[in-house]
Structure 1
Amino acid sequence: MLKTFAAAAALLVSAAAGHAAEPIEGNWKTQSGATAEIGKCGSAYCVTLRTGKHAGKQIGKMSGTGDEYSGEITDPENDKTYSGSGSVAGNTLKMKGCVLKVLCKSQTWTRL
C-alpha cells in the first residue's frame, strides 16, 4: 500500500510540475460578440478589437505573467479608461475594469 501511495504522489507531483499557466496571448470572443486580439507590445500585452463596431481600436494594455494581468482597459462605447485586470483559466478570460477600485464591471471572454 505504501508503494501505491508513493507512486500516486509522484504522479500527482509530476502532473502539477508539468502544468503551465495559460497564456493571455491570442484571439478572444468578447461578451458583446466582437473578437479581441491580445498580443505582445513592448513589455506589455495590448488588447485590440479585430471585429465589430470598433474594429482596429486598441482598448487595453496589461502587464503580468502566468494567469494574472493588470493595467488599463477602455470601454470603446464611451472611450473612458479604467484600471483593469485579467485572469486566464483555460479557455476563459475574466476581464475587470474599475473606477477607484470600488465600482467595477466584469466580463468573461472565450478563447477562439
Structure 2
Amino acid sequence: MLRTLTLAFAATVMLAGAASADPILGNWKTDSGAIAQIASAGGAFTITLRSGDHNGKRIGQMQPNGAGKYKGTITDPANDKTYSGNATLNGNRLAMQGCVAAIFCRTQNWQRQ
C-alpha cells in the first residue's frame, strides 16, 4: 500500500512539473530557416541557435511579461548587434521583435518545431 502511494505521489509531482513548463520553451524555426532553442535560465529564458550558419550562438534573453508576452534582448547573429526585444506567443507561433530606440522595429514570425 505504501509503495503504491509513493509511486502515485511521484507520478503526480512529475506531471505537475511538466504542466507548469512555460509554453515558450522549446525549438522554433526562424524566418531564415534556422532552429532556435528557448531554454529556461532561472526565471528568464535564453535563446540559442541550434542550426544554420550561427549554430551554437546565444542570440537573446527574455523574461516573462504576462499573458504570453516576453521582454528582453535579441542579437542579430550576422553582425552581433543587440536590440531591445519583445516576443508574443500565439499558439505555435512566436512573434519575435527587435527594436532600436523603441521606434524602429523588425519582427520575425517563428514556428514551433
Q: Superposition RMSD on alpha carbons, in Å?
A: 1.1
Q: 2:87 maps to what in 1? A: 86
* Alpha-carbon shift at residue 42 of structure 1 (Å): 1.8
SS of 2:39's partner is strand
Say which is worse superposed, 63-72 or 100-109, in terms of deviation: 63-72
Q: If the length of structure 1 is used for normalisation, what is the TM-score?
A: 0.79
Q: 1:18 maps to what in 2? A: none
Q: 2:7 maps to what in 1? A: none
* Alpha-carbon shift at residue 33 of structure 1 (Å): 0.1
Amino acid at match of 1:58: R
Q: If the length of structure 2 is used for normalisation, what is the TM-score?
A: 0.78
Count of residues in Structure 1 that have an aligned counterpart in Structure 2: 91
Give 5+ residue unaligned stretches, structure 2.
Answer: 1-21
* Alpha-carbon shift at residue 66 of structure 1 (Å): 3.9
Amino acid at match of 2:51: T
Amino acid at match of 2:31: Q
Give 5+ residue unaligned stretches, structure 1.
Answer: 1-21
Q: Contact 1:43/1:63 (CA < 8 Å) preserved in 2?
A: yes
CA distance in 1, matches of 2:75, 2:91: 24
CA distance in 2, matches of 1:53, 1:92: 23
What are the equivalent positions in structure 2 for 1:1-112 lying under 5 Å apart?
23-64=23-64, 65-112=66-113
Q: 2:11 maps to what in 1? A: none
Structure 1 residue runs of 4 or more that deviate by more than 3 Å after TM superposition: none
